[in-house]
Amino acid sequence: MTVDSPNLENLRQSHTLSLQAVQVARLYYEQGLTTNDIALELKLSRPKVSRLLSHARKSGLVEIRIHDPEGEAMGLEARLQARYPFLQAQVVSVPLGSSESVWIERTATAAANLLTTLLRPGFRVGLAWGNTMSAVSRVLVPKAVADVIFVQLNGSANAADFVSGFVTETILRFARNFSAKAQMFPVPTFFDDPVTKQAMWRERSVRHVLELQEHADILMYSVGSHTAHTPSHVYTAGYLSPSDLSVLSDEGTVGDIATVFFRADGSHQGLSLNARASGPDLGLMQRVKESICVVSGLGKAAALHAALQGQLMHRLIVDEVTAQAVLELDLEGV
């Protein structure tokens, strides 16, 4: 690919665009001028100033972060944290009578924001994949952070991803957004034979990925559930045979994180399918410094409740309605 002069020209222009945008943003946010004043000062039209401002916000030139006094929380947050003392919860409110797709959108936005806040140079971030993570990837606001690696937590090497690029695209969006590297995990989501998995796990290339996962600074994932309104990919994409699914029921699984299953009490040891799953041991979620669980949708309430019993996260981002449902499950259970 050669760089011809028009492209160079575009590049220069996009630079001056950003420069102008920064200049305008400074005058607007730091000096507190109105768009009109700025237009006069820089001899631009007022609409142009307005457009530069939106550009600055959308492209991450201005970053707006909200410092939550993490001590006292309101309502649902407080109740969640009282019930699960290890947990740092953020409950996102949703409009009355809105659809679950709106909930996901809002929850994803909150999650994207939290990740941007927590991310520091040199961090390794483990990512699961699925509908929720995909939603998060689509609402990220660009910001360059040095030496970050995003590493895929569980395999996706199978037809479903290769046709749609669903998984690959999700993780690449994260990486691109932060000018970071992406480490894919090119193994099957589930192995047919646990022995093959063990063999693969001895391979250098795989061990490299596992190493990155083990030393991750942040993990981000959702919980999966077969009862979700929009069922998790893992249940719909044909990864599992009908007999697998019946085994899941028999063994009392209520959900999964990164395609590793757990029971209603949050335990995951001894579940037969996990020996064939490509996701990490769920103890990892406790070992790492930050593990962010993003959950939205009433159908996921039971799975989330189970994950909470198992302390499978440090932080939780959940929509109001689902949070309510989880707390009610708590009352029933006791």
Partner DNA sequence: CAGTTAAATGCACGTATGTTCAAGCCCCCC
Partner DNA sequence: GGGGGGCTTGAACATACGTGCATTTAACTG
Nearer to DNA, 56 or 140 (CB): 56
**CA atoms of 250 and 137, how far apart (whole Å):** 34
* The one among 25, 216, 234, 312 contacting a copy of itself by CB under 8 A: 25
245 is an interface residue for a copy of itself by CB under 8 A: no
Amino acid residing at 263: R
Question: Residue written as tokens 């290890």?
Answer: 86
222 and 315 Cβ atoms separated by less than 8 Å? no
Q: What residue ranges bind DNA (CB under 7 A)?
A: 5-6, 9, 13, 28, 34-36, 44-48, 50-51, 53-54
Nearer to a copy of itself, 38 or 240 (CB): 38
* The one among 8, 120, 181, 208 contacting a copy of itself by CB under 8 A: 120
How crowded is residue 53: how many other Cβ atoms within 10 Å of its Cβ? 20
Q: Which residues, other chains included, contact 296 with Cβ-Cβ below 8 Å and sequence gap of 6+?
A: 100, 103, 104, 106, 107, 108, 132, 318, 319, 322
Nearer to a copy of itself, 29 or 166 (CB): 29
Choose the contact partner of 34 out of DNA, a copy of itself, none; CB within 5 to 8 A by kind. DNA
**CA atoms of 314 and 263, how far apart (whole Å):** 19
**CA atoms of 170 and 172, how far apart (whole Å):** 6
158 and 247 Cβ atoms separated by less than 8 Å? no
128 and 222 Cβ atoms separated by less than 8 Å? yes
- Shortest distance, position 10 Cβ to DNA, whole Å: 8
Nearer to a copy of itself, 120 or 215 (CB): 120
Nearer to a copy of itself, 47 or 75 (CB): 75
27 is an interface residue for a copy of itself by CB under 8 A: yes
Q: Which residues bind a copy of itself (CB under 8 A)?
A: 15-16, 18-20, 22-23, 25-27, 29-31, 37, 40-42, 56, 60-74, 78, 81-82, 85, 88, 92-93, 95-96, 106, 109-110, 113, 116-117, 119-122, 143-147
